[in-house]
Structure 1
Amino acid sequence: MIDRFRQALPHGITLSCRAAGERGRPVLMFLHGFPEAAFVWDDLLEHFARPENGGYRCIAPNLRGYEQSSAPAEAGAYRARHLVQDIAALIATEGGRLECLVAHDWGGAIAWNLANQLPQLTRRLAIVNSPHPGTFLRELQGNPQQQQASAYMNFLIRPDAEALLAQDDYRRLWAFFTQLGGASWLTEALKARYREVWNGPAGSPPGAGLVGGCNYYRASPLRPPRPGDPAAAAVTLPRDALTVDLPTLVLWAMEDSALPPCLVDGLEDYVSDLVLERVPGASHWIVHERPQFVAGRLQAFLA
């Protein structure tokens, strides 16, 4: 059974969370991406909370800007250091150290940074189709294929992006799912759950629940360069900000059209203890497509 709660953090942010399993047990934390929300992890929360699968305490926060979590108005509030601060503070409320931090898409961007900056907060790291900042920067700066694949980022930083995404019952967002994978999993019931998140509070303009998610893109320079906006071309990341020494599992769905397989080339140069599995026939939305597969690989990694 999934429990829901709101956790106030010392720096003034509140995160709405979903959880399964008993407090006091080893903790797994799951971070979602865009345009998703914490509910995408429900199957895995319930799986790992069962005694036969480890009996973990499993928590999935809605990241800042999503669902009922705090949503600061200014884009600068979504820079990486603030997002890492949120998750570090949430970990402190759950015993101070995780058994594993599991993350997908934008959640992975936070997790890579936390693993580099605050490795003492988790014993292990598991990443699902979320590029390491070192390889992502390399490809954005020098690979036209990646620049084209990430061109949607420059749409999402437009000031009217949320309103455009909300048009025609979120037509562009449904296409976002189907273009990055076949999306046979996208049932009408699941669409209703997404609409609830994207609509935002009652009485808000259409797409109000997407403002926070779009602000992640507005706050980050890691996007394709374009005339008048150097973006990633102007970024330099020191190597000591990129290394990860935690035991790390990376599952990489090979049919991800936004994040092609080149992003895991050379990953071992940054991650000293790496298990990398390339998954043929799966898309960016592998957590939806193949939850049992993801659970099985995580189970083996945790063991």
Structure 2
Amino acid sequence: MIETFQRRLPSGITLSCRAAGVPGRPLLVFLHGFPEAAFIWDELLEHFADPAHGGYRCVAPNLRGFERSSAPTEVAAYKPQLLVQDIHQLVATESADGKMAALIAHDWGGAFAWGFANAFPAQTGRLVIINSPHAGTLSRELRESETQRAASAYMNFLARPDAEALLAEDDYRRLWPFFTNMKAGEDGFGWLTEPLKQRYREVWDAGLTGACNLYRVTPLKPPQEGQSIDVIPVLPRERLTVNVPTLVFWALDDSALLPGLLDGLEDYVPDLRVRKVPGATHWIVHEQPGLLAEEIGAFLGKA
């Protein structure tokens, strides 16, 4: 059974959370991306909370700026280190020793999970990344791959000052294509049901400024017209290495995040397993939760 609660952190940020399992058990934390919310993890929360599948304490926060979590309006409040701090403080409230068995994350959640594992490897346990690029390979691909720059062009739209107003128009007509352009609603990809669409509306009705601020604050997006490729930073290696056992799922029909983002990933992540999934898209959490549950369970069992 899913429980919901509000967790006020020492920083003053409040995160609305969804959880399953008994407090005090080994902790799994799940991080969502854009334009989603913590509810996408419900099936996996219940699966891994079941004693038959590990009996974990499973917690999925809504990131700051999403659903009923705190949503500061200023762009600077969405710097990556602040969202990593949110996770760190949340884990401290949910785990007696401040550690997780694993951190599991998708899309923007993955960006902060990569950062958390770099900064706090001893507290991460294991890392599971689902279609979320590592900053080192993303920086390289944005600088060197015209194809990836074109695939990432939507980021500049979402960073516009009027992005949230445009996204909200006409029953979110500019948001639904994020799903439908990657097969949602087609045969075999019928996960985007009307009840689920209503759940998304309720999340988006709470506001989109925080979500758009993630795109405004990041320098890791394609240069705009007239900008040099040099606006894309090359980050220092010490901020990129991840020294925890890591499993990366990559749905190969993700039209925004291309497989080239996997090239060279092992240079930053020495203990790496990559599971490529043909025929799946960026929304694999919705499309194939059973596959994720099975393979994450096997990965956790290697501990």
TM norm structure 1 = 0.95
Q: CA deviation at 1:161?
A: 0.6
- State the match for 1:194 in structure 2: 200
Residue 28 of structure 1 aligns to a residue in which SS?
strand
Q: 1:247 to 1:56 in 2, by over 3 A?
A: same
- State the match for 1:216 in structure 2: 214
Q: Percent identity?
A: 63
Q: CA deviation at 1:233?
A: 3.4
After the TM superposition, which residues 90-169 of structure 1 pair with which residues of structure 2 at under 5 Å, given as runs? Answer: 90-95=90-95, 96-169=98-171
Q: CA deviation at 1:182?
A: 3.2
1:142-167 Cα offsets, whole Å, 9 max, x none, are: 10000000000000011111111111
Q: 1:231 to 1:45 in 2, by over 3 A?
A: farther
- Could you say what the CA RMSD is over the residues aligned between the two structures, in angstroms? 1.1
1:223-281 Cα offsets, whole Å, 9 max, x none, are: 00123445773412011111111000000000000001111111111101001011000
Read off the aligned partner of 1:284 and give its amino acid letter: H
After the TM superposition, which residues 140-289 of structure 1 pair with which residues of structure 2 at under 5 Å, given as runs? Answer: 140-183=142-185, 184-200=190-206, 209-230=207-228, 233-289=231-287
Q: 1:178 to 1:136 in 2, by over 3 A?
A: same
Read off the aligned partner of 2:198 and give its amino acid letter: A
Read off the aligned partner of 2:264 and give its amino acid letter: G
Q: 1:172 to 1:80 in 2, by over 3 A?
A: same
1:71-127 Cα offsets, whole Å, 9 max, x none, are: 111011001010100000001111110000000000000000010111121110000
How many Å separate the matches in 1 of 2:170 and 2:271?
A: 46
How many Å separate the matches in 2 of 1:55 and 1:231?
A: 48
Stretches (4+) displaced over 4 A = 228-232
Instruction: Tell me if structure 1 keeps the 8 A contact 2:143–2:229.
Output: no
- State the match for 2:51 in structure 1: 51
How many Å separate the matches in 1 of 2:37 and 2:230?
A: 27
After the TM superposition, which residues 11-26 of structure 1 pair with which residues of structure 2 at under 5 Å, given as runs? Answer: 11-26=11-26
Unaligned regions of 5+ residues in structure 1, if any? Answer: 201-208
How many Å separate the matches in 2 of 1:181 and 1:274?
A: 29
Q: CA deviation at 1:181?
A: 3.4
Q: Answer with 215-224 or 117-126: which moved more.
A: 117-126
Instruction: Tell me if structure 1 keeps the 8 A contact 2:136–2:234.
Output: no
Read off the aligned partner of 2:276 and give its amino acid letter: R
- State the match for 1:80 in structure 2: 80
Residue 175 of structure 2 aligns to a residue in which SS?
helix
Residue 244 of structure 1 aligns to a residue in which SS?
coil
Read off the aligned partner of 1:104 and give its amino acid letter: H
- State the match for 1:38 in structure 2: 38
How many Å separate the matches in 1 of 2:216 and 2:252?
A: 27
Unaligned regions of 5+ residues in structure 2, if any? Answer: none
Read off the aligned partner of 2:22 and give its amino acid letter: E
How many Å separate the matches in 1 of 2:44 and 2:299?
A: 14
Instruction: Tell me if structure 2 keeps the 8 A contact 1:14–1:70.
Output: yes
How many Å separate the matches in 1 of 2:241 and 2:52?
A: 34
How many Å separate the matches in 2 of 1:172 and 1:301?
A: 37
How many Å separate the matches in 1 of 2:53 and 2:193?
A: 28
